[in-house]
Amino acid sequence: MAGRRIRVRAMSWSMPRPVLQLVATALVVACLGAFALGVFTAPARGRLPGDGPVGKSAAVLQAQEATPLIDERIGGAPTPEELTPEEQAALEAEEKAKAEAAALAKAEAEKGAPAGPEAAAAVTPAPPPAVVEAAPAPTPPPKVEEPVF
């Protein structure tokens, strides 16, 4: 067994050599094309950390519909509480007083009363209805960062 030699055979490809050369050339062309496309489409100069934006893209965009991320947005809007009969009566009385004041101002304007600050001094507004004390505001839910327990 010491005299036996192990033969290593050269690798044989299943395609003819011209086909392998064509495939290799196609791969090289594709790689070089991708690199060139990346170089030509890259921005002229990038920014380093700390550099501010420069040029026409430097304008700060103002979001029109941006809303802060608050607990109400996460958990949904609170359910509207129904008004008690006393609160409802107070609201109706306030609306009625506003309507009467508007009608009185309109009537005074038709009579030829002066318009402006002197007209407001001449008209005495009705006393405001009794204010119903609201229940104390509920405690806000715990923040996300605080542990619940």
Note the pLDDT tens digit of each residue in 37-75: 999 998 777 777 877 777 766 676 676 776 667 766 666
CB 58 within 8 A of CB 52: yes
First to last CA, the chain: 77
* pTM of the full structure: 0.28
Boundaries of every domain in the chain: 15-42
Query: Six-digit token pair at 64?
Result: 């029109």
- The reported pLDDT for the residue numbered 93 is 94
Mean of per-residue pLDDT scores for the chain: 77
DSSP state of 78: P
